Structure formats: structure tokens, C-alpha cells
Structure 1
Amino acid sequence: MTTDDLVRIAREWHAQDPDPRTRAELADILDRRDTAALADRFGGKLEFGTAGLRGELGAGPNRMNRVTVMRAAAGLARVLGPGRHVVIGFDARHMSDVFAGDTAAVLTGAGLRASVMGGRWPTPVLAFAVRHFGADAGIMVTASHNPPRDNGYKVYWGDGAQIVPPIDREISQAIDATGRVDELPLGDGWETLDHDTIVVPYLEALAALPVGDARDLVIAYTPLHGVGHGVLTEAFTRAGFAAPRVVGRQAEPDPDFPTVSFPNPEEPGAMDLALGLATSIGADLVLANDPDADRCAAGMPLPEGGYRMLTGDEAGGLLAEHVLRHTSGDDRLVATTIVSSSLLAKIAAAYGVRHAETLTGFKWIMKAGPGLVFGYEEALGYSIGSDEGLPVHDKDGVGAALTLAGLAADARRAGRTLLDLLDDQARRYGLHATAQLSFRVTDLEEIGRAMARLRAEPPTELAGREVESAEDLAAGVAGLPPTDGLRYRLAGGARVVVRPSGTEPKLKCYLEIVIPVEDSVAAARARAAEDLEALKKDLSAALGLL
């Protein structure tokens, strides 16, 4: 695309943009004739990825802004058709409330019914609301745990789960067919959902979760400047727990996330304040939500003092057994993703229930099959059910936190800890130790080059273990849809999966080592830690990203 083409397209965009901030940004770029900035904003467009849009705020089709959002709403309206009902939620990020209002205006202007959340509430409340109201679709304006500069647009279908192909492609095509947003008919007749109308039913649905009756527990909690604090506190007090002690500096929503580099509990340093609070109050459990509260992280005290966070796979294994002990039926199903631990398959076999493996993302977990009572992904996402089913057809950081608290309180009453429960699993199934290796890039082509290098020269040995099989997931394997990824199975049950992130400029590697526990669990953990470090080193070299 020539500079003249970029300038022409940018001027057309500027003419229809209803936002004075992005108009001013774009006018400045045009005045300076900044070709690089124009190419960055207009040389491409945000595509539907993990069930919607996500990207940096700013002007142009390759950014999140009011024009992009209004076009997305118009595309969804065209796919759904007049008379359909859409529920809209939003978090506390920059522009989230504005984007929600623009969406409602476009939908009602197109003849649809729109219901907008009356507060900045967690994503699982929106996912629950879609099924609770029998709506045809839902939209959550959030960028989850992305940096402050980002926002996003997550779309749910009538089953309360995130959209999957071909619906995403249909919406994308309808967006492309949308004309100027300043020519769209806009309505103003949407309804506002208050706390009693939707938050209370959501909390009542969580009462079915397998929380048990033990309540003696001191909990340290952080919402990481997100929207989880109020709803989570109400969930805990309704269930009979004392309100968790919250990190004061992170308690209130703040779209700039001033105390963390990245508002993701998995990122180094993100949990420092929560762990400090836990130490000062002698907490039995540490809990955290990401900013839209669909993910949950947990930490536990150690016998020698101090605390450590559980991995998503460790929490997933504990929750899986807990759910299976508190549910019944031969038709039960548990599901996780190709990048999560293989432990869940062994737990399912021990309990005589079905197990499914899906592509990465909760949109796929929710499609695993009938009878699903538990689904999780290693990135701290859990959907927990009971004999009554799943309250939320998506990951739910509030329900997961409540269930983890019940599990920890049960263990404490029996004189045991979460570490004891992890050791029990290691003895029963073997120690399944997992870790991530992530490479954040500024040039997305680096990811393509690294993946091409691995495909051209696949490793034959990693960390002293023979690579027994190599699978290119782009070809589709084991009945799964094609996806950009590579999976290696190593001697001794080890496994490596490499894939580009669907939501961030990262190349992500998922590592698993399986160690039989013959003597002490501590010795097995030490050996697994050494093997994982060796695996990281060898894989980094193979990728050329040392």
C-alpha cells in the first residue's frame, strides 16, 4: 500500500470517527505525514481471535477504538438479525464503558434488544447472564490481563460460551461489509441491568458449587486493580466465609494498573503485594483474580515458612479430584487443553469418567461434549460444576476462588494443607511438573521465523530425552481442528508444545516432565525442577531465541 493510499484511507477514517481523542491523534499523524504510524494503524486490521477482538487503543482499523467497536457491533447485528437479544458487559479498562454504550446504540439502532450491565462486573457474570436471560449473544468489553494500553471485545453465543468457527468468520465478513459508522442508525432504548437483576442470580448459582461446610480460613486476596473485589467478597460472605483480606493498593479498579508491570497473576512480581499481605496476616490461602476476574490464582504457605503460588496445572488437578469426589454419574466428562498437564487424563481414568483434550482456549473446552462437570486450562482458567451442571459456560475466577477456599478449609480441618494434597496426587499418579517458557516480541515476524526454524529442523533430543514423536498441529491431529503449533513427546512421558499466543505478541512453550515417585516427593520435585530448566535451555537454543 502506497503512502497516498494510507493517507486517503486515514482521512476517510478520520471523517467518520466520533471520538475527539482518536481524531486528534490521527490528525497529528496526518499533519506529520508519519508513514510508519499510518502503516501500523491502517496497513492491517484487528481480526477475530480468541472469541473476538483485542488490541491497543488508538486510531485506525488495527487498533481498538469507537469506529472499530461500532463496526463490530454492526457486523454482529447483521449476523443475528432484528429482534434478537444481546447482553453487554464491561470492565474498568480505559474506554470500556464507552465501547459498551456504542455497542448498545448500534444494536438497538439495527432493531435488536440490548441489555447493558449497570456496573463494572466480572466477565463470568456476563457469561452467566447470557444463559440466565436466554439471550442470543453476549459481549464483554475487556482485554482480560493484557497491558493497560489494550482493550478488547469478547463475543459469546446463546449457549453462554465464547464463539467458535464458523460464527467468528461470519461476523468478520459482516464487519467487512459494514459501511461508514457515521451512517449507521443509532438507538437509545436499551435496558440497564442492576445488581439485584443479574449479580444476585449469579451468586445464587454459585451456591451449587462443591464448597463443603468448613469455613475456618484466613485468606489474602488481590483483584489486581480489576473488577473482582466486590463480587468475590459478596460470594464469600454469602457462603459463610469471613471476607478475604484484600491488598489495599490493588483493591479498587484502576485501568493504569499502577503497581504491576502486567496485570496477570502469572507474571513475575504481580503477586508480591498479595504474598506480603499473606505473610503479615498468617494467611492459610492466597487468592488473586486477573482484572476481569475470569481467572484465579492460588498460593499456599510452606512448612519451612513463606508462600508459593500454585501453577495452573496444580490447581487444576486439585480442583478436578475435588469436583469428581462431589459429583456422581458415569456420564461425567472432564476436559482440558493440549497445552495443559496430562495429569487430568489419569485422574479421569481413576474415577471412571470421560476425559477430553481440546485446542487452547475456553471456547473449545466448553465444546468438549455433554456431561462436562469440570474444565480447566493451565493459564489459571477453571469452570467448576456440580450435579446441577456448570453455572458458567466459561472460565470463572470467582467460582474457582470460592471452591479453592472450600477445598483448603476442608484440608485445614483435617490437619492437612494443599501441599499435602499435591503430594498425595504425586504418589498416586506420578509427579507431573509443568512450566512455561515465553518470548515476548516487538516484531511478530520473529515468531514466524522461530516456528519455521523448528519445522525445518525439529529437535531429536531435549534435556537428554529422546524426542519420540513430533506433531505439526497445523495439519490437525487426533480429531482437533488445525492450529499453529508443534507438539513433541519425549521419552519418559515428557511433553513440549510450542505455539504463538492468540492474545499477546508472545511465542509460548508449554513444558511437562513426569517423574515416578519411588521414595520422597521432595526428591522427585527437585529432579523435575532440574529437568525443566534443562528443557528450557535446549528449547530456547532450538528456537534461536536465547
Structure 2
Amino acid sequence: MEAGFSRMNDVTVIQASQGLASYINSECPQPSMVIGYDHRHNSERFAKLTAAAMIRRGIKANFGRAPVEGCTSVNSCWVAGVMITASHNPAQDNGYKVYWGNGCQIIPPHDKNIAQRIEENLEPKCWDVGLVDKDQNTVRPVKQVTDAYFAALGELEVGLACRENHRLQFVYTPMHGVGLSFMWRIATDMGLGDYMMPVSAQATPDPNFPTVKFPNPEEKEALDLAIATAERKGIHLILANDPDADRFAAAEKLPSGKWHVFTGNQLGVLFAAHVLSVYRKEGKDISKLSMLASTVSTQMLHAMADTEGFYYNETLTGFKWLGNRAITLEKNGYDATYAFEEAIGYMFSPIVHDKDGIAAASVFLTMARRWAKEGFTVCQKLEQLYKKYGYFETANSYFVSPDPLITKEVFAAIRKLGDPYPAKVGNRDIIRWRDLTVGYDSSVRNREPELPVSKNSEMITVELESGVRFTVRASGTEPKIKMYIECRASSPEKAKAGAQEVSEALTREWFRPAQTGLKPP
């Protein structure tokens, strides 16, 4: 949040809202939209400026503080939605997320069309932050949305509808965010209200996030206070949400006394195993079950699909792709009940077609109780899955790029290493090459990728012999080139060694920091 046209401030919010309002008017004769905001600095002000732009263009505003980010997409009767939040970013950040009427974040053609309308409506027309409070047509549907959300949670077949009753103690942290009231209600509905222990120092929403360097459960030391609370209370399980409660994390104490913080990929396959188990228990047709993951997430879900017979789908990074793809699958007769990505994001439809950390928490508690009743801890269940489907280990990392032009030059040099692509990475042969920047996939007969191609973004995915797959891409929000490397092997040691070997080869052969100026983390 700073001055400048590439920052969140009054001007850029008004400009974005005016462009969005213009596009909404062109799409619907009697438009209505929902506008939500979280507890971050200036979130309410930015939301009110957004609402003012809509009201001025005759668009009915459904306005209010959204306790959970995913709730902005619960009700599809609205033409569009805006959520003011920066999720798990540092305290000085904020953001502007746009949803369409199907409850998903926007994808083409809406994103490009809205961007064009913004360019055509740059002169700010309304600065009145009080207009939404004076407008008689504005509706404040927070209770309506919240009640609908919990009603949907109560019917979730892989969650509360399972009606598990095993006692389970856990520590919970909302990470200075908005999730605690929702988690209390979830715990109470599950009969666990007396067994949930909040982290008191992180329980109250605080936009300064005073006890953590970054309000992201994935970050090192982010769960230190939760672990200290669990140790003090003798509790072996920790649940966490990020500040806007759309992401979910968990940790479990091992018999050795150490804490295992589950990765996003590990939670992803644990949820998938639970979904599959419930589906089978209900006697449903497995071939109609579809589970999705983003292209940078673990391939273990794909291995599970090959073994079990459900339909695996891969999308680009981000729930705007996962959610929209799930809707398409549902229209085609599939039950696209679950999707995830490695950045601790999990979707359980039909509640919302977006990541939802509260729904994920309810499903996690359900499956943990079920496995505890069967005599397994969550970590023991994960080990069972590895033994059945193979061990999948990652060596994810990134390089900081000093200039966007250097990023382009690095990827251009990679593409010149072979014709049409390199033969090897290190000592491993390349068996598949997919470049979503130029639009090439060696595994498809016509060489045209199934996933969307964008010349404005850099993204290459490679499969190597002996069970290694990796994706390298330029971040769309940070000056980074990211590497997602995964190896499948018969033991965790072999899998880790394989992933690390490829990481070193890519650094040496592709990214060459000493020559290119890229900087390791």
C-alpha cells in the first residue's frame, strides 16, 4: 500500500473498480455484485471506494466485512465479486481479488476485458467513501452468506456429514486473522468445542501481525507459538489458517518428540485418500470422481488416480483455474469434489470453487478422528500412502532475478539448448517437454498443449527418466524464477537424492547464477 500506479491506493482502487463496473454493465442489464473486505490496514476504505464506483454506475452493492475470504464466492446470484485482502502477505500489503458470477476468480476472457475497461476509465469519478453507507439499495448480506456457508459445511459428505465422534484435542491459530470465530463454530458443531485450544497471542485479528515475521503458516517459525501452546497443554495436533482463512496447515507431534509440519503436498494427498475412502464407502462410481491439482503440485495424486481409477485433472497454478475447471467437469457429469495446490490451498465443492481453509479444517478433523478410531495417527496414514503409491520428495527453490529482461534472456537461453528441446538434464534423459510460453508439448500428437498458453509468462515442465518431473516458471507477483522439482522412488532417501540431484543440475546447466546474475535464496 503505497503511492504509485503499481500499488494499492485510493487511485488504483477507484480505477480498477470503474473498469470493472463498466464491464459488469456491459454484461448484465440489472447487475448486482458482492464486495467483501478483511481486517488489514485500509481494507474497509478500499472496499467502500469499490462500492462507491459500483453504486455510481447503477450496480447494486452487497457489502460487508467477510469473515472468510471464500465466502465472497458462495452466492452465484451475483454478477461479480471483489474481495479486499492480501491473504498471507506481509502487513504492509493489501490486494484486490475479482470473482465472476460462477463463484471463481476471473480467467480469460473476463480478465483481459476488464483490464481494457480499466484503461478506458482511468479518471477517478467518485472519492466518496461514505456513499455505501448512505445508499438505500445497498444490502449487507454477511449473515445470509455465513448461514448458507455453514449449512453447506454441515452437508459436506467428506466433512461434518460424516458425523465422526472420536475425541480429538487440537491447538488452533488463526495467525492474527479472522478464522477463530468460524473455527469455534466448526469445533462446536463437531462436538469438539471443549477440545480446541486457541493460541491466545494470535487469536485476535491484528493487521500488524505482531508475533510472526510473515503471517503464513508455511513459513519457518510461523507455528512456534502454536507448538509452544501444544507442548504446554500436552496436545499432539495443531491446525492453522492464514489471516483470511483461505489456506490451511497442520502439524503433528511424533513419538520422538519432534513436530512434523505437513507440507501442502502431503496434506493434499491425505485429503485425497480420505475423499476416495468416503466415496467408496458410499458405493459411488469411482470413474465419475474427479480430483484436481495444479501443475506445480505433487504428482502423487496422479499416481493415486492411475491405481484407484478416479479421473485426475491438472491445471495451471491458481484456484481460478482449478475452480473453473471443476465447474466444467461437473457440467460434463463428473463429481469434481476436491482440488488442491501445494501452497496449502484446498477446495471442497460444492461449498465454494476456491480454496477454503475453514472447510479444509473441518475435513481434516473428520479424517483425523476416523483414522484415530482405526488406530492411526495422521503421519502413520501418510506413511501407508507412501508405501502404496511410492515416495514423492521435492526440492523446490527459487532464484531472485534482478530484471525482467534477464528472466526472459534466461528462458530464451534454455530453449536454445536443444532443437526442439534439450536431450538431457544432468545425466537423465528428457522424456517429455511442455513449454506453455511458446505452446509446445512433446507428449501430444499435434504438439499443442492442453493447458492454456501465454506468451507473456514463462513456464516449462519437464519429465525425466527415473521418476523426476519439474516445472520452472517466472513468478507473476515477485521478481523470482521458481523451481518445483519432484522425484518418485522406492524410499524417501532415494526420492530426496533424486530431486536434489536435478536441482543441482538445473542450477549448473540452466540458471548459471554466476553468469546470469540470478541470486539464490
Superposition TM-score, scaled by structure 2 size: 0.86
Q: Give the match for residue 36 of structure 2.
A: 89
Contact 2:324 2:353 in 1 (8 A): no
1:255 aligns with 2:207: yes
Range moving further from structure 2, 179-188 or 478-487: 179-188
Q: Give the match for residue 468 of structure 1.
A: 431
1:384 aligns with 2:328: no
3-state DSSP of counterpart to 1:347: helix
1:404 aligns with 2:381: no
Residues 120-199 of structure 1 mapped to structure 2, 5 A cutoff: 120-128=66-74, 130-131=75-76, 134-182=77-125, 188-189=134-135, 190-193=137-140, 195-199=142-146
Contact 1:217 1:284 in 2 (8 A): no
Contact 1:313 1:434 in 2 (8 A): no
Displacement of 1:504: 3.2
Contact 1:214 1:413 in 2 (8 A): no
Q: Give the match for residue 356 of structure 1.
A: 313
Displacement of 1:335: 1.0
Residues 70-469 of structure 1 mapped to structure 2, 5 A cutoff: 70-81=14-25, 83-117=30-64, 119-128=65-74, 130-131=75-76, 134-182=77-125, 188-189=134-135, 190-193=137-140, 195-209=142-156, 210-211=158-159, 212=162, 213-242=164-193, 244-327=196-279, 328-329=284-285, 330-368=287-325, 369-370=329-330, 371=334, 372-385=336-349, 390-440=350-400, 443-457=403-417, 461-462=424-425, 464-469=427-432
CA distance in structure 1 between the aligned counterparts of 2:310 and 2:481, rounded to whole angstroms: 34
**Structure 2 counterpart of 1:105, one-letter code:** A
Q: Would you say how many aligned residue pairs link Structure 1 and Structure 2? A: 475
Query: 1:490–1:214: structure 2 CA closer, same or farther, 3 Å change rule?
Result: farther
Gap regions ≥5 residues in structure 1: 1-56, 517-523
CA distance in structure 1 between the aligned counterparts of 2:143 and 2:346, rounded to whole angstroms: 25
Range moving further from structure 2, 316-325 or 162-171: 316-325
CA-to-aligned-CA distance 1:289-326 (integer Å, 9 cap, x gap): 11211111111222322211111111111111211222
CA distance in structure 1 between the aligned counterparts of 2:507 and 2:238, rounded to whole angstroms: 32
Displacement of 1:89: 0.9
CA distance in structure 1 between the aligned counterparts of 2:12 and 2:393, rounded to whole angstroms: 42
Query: 1:474–1:281: structure 2 CA closer, same or farther, 3 Å change rule?
Result: same
3-state DSSP of counterpart to 1:191: coil
3-state DSSP of counterpart to 1:411: helix
Contact 2:425 2:505 in 1 (8 A): yes
**Structure 2 counterpart of 1:297, one-letter code:** A
CA-to-aligned-CA distance 1:350-369 (integer Å, 9 cap, x gap): 33221111111111112222
Superposition TM-score, scaled by structure 1 size: 0.82
Gap regions ≥5 residues in structure 2: 442-448, 514-518
Among candidates 446, 462, 466, match of residue 492 of structure 1 = 466
Range moving further from structure 2, 428-437 or 155-164: 428-437
3-state DSSP of counterpart to 2:392: strand
Contact 2:62 2:141 in 1 (8 A): no
Query: 1:184–1:146: structure 2 CA closer, same or farther, 3 Å change rule?
Result: closer
Contact 1:265 1:290 in 2 (8 A): yes
3-state DSSP of counterpart to 2:276: helix
Contact 2:103 2:352 in 1 (8 A): yes
**Structure 1 counterpart of 2:399, one-letter code:** F
Displacement of 1:279: 2.6
**Structure 2 counterpart of 1:222, one-letter code:** T
CA distance in structure 2 between the aligned counterparts of 1:529 and 1:280, rounded to whole angstroms: 34
CA distance in structure 2 between the aligned counterparts of 1:359 and 1:397, rounded to whole angstroms: 20
CA distance in structure 1 between the aligned counterparts of 2:203 and 2:413, rounded to whole angstroms: 44
Query: 1:292–1:447: structure 2 CA closer, same or farther, 3 Å change rule?
Result: farther
Query: 1:304–1:285: structure 2 CA closer, same or farther, 3 Å change rule?
Result: same
Displacement of 1:463: 6.4
Contact 2:173 2:202 in 1 (8 A): yes
Contact 1:215 1:406 in 2 (8 A): no
CA distance in structure 2 between the aligned counterparts of 1:59 and 1:466, rounded to whole angstroms: 50
Contact 2:392 2:492 in 1 (8 A): no
CA distance in structure 2 between the aligned counterparts of 1:347 and 1:538, rounded to whole angstroms: 29
Query: 1:298–1:467: structure 2 CA closer, same or farther, 3 Å change rule?
Result: same
CA distance in structure 1 between the aligned counterparts of 2:125 and 2:324, rounded to whole angstroms: 38
Query: 1:115–1:442: structure 2 CA closer, same or farther, 3 Å change rule?
Result: farther
Query: 1:419–1:197: structure 2 CA closer, same or farther, 3 Å change rule?
Result: same
Q: Give the match for residue 3 of structure 2.
A: 59
1:481 aligns with 2:452: yes
Q: Give the match for residue 486 of structure 2.
A: 512
**Structure 2 counterpart of 1:323, one-letter code:** V
Contact 2:66 2:142 in 1 (8 A): no
Displacement of 1:446: 4.9
Displacement of 1:68: 0.9
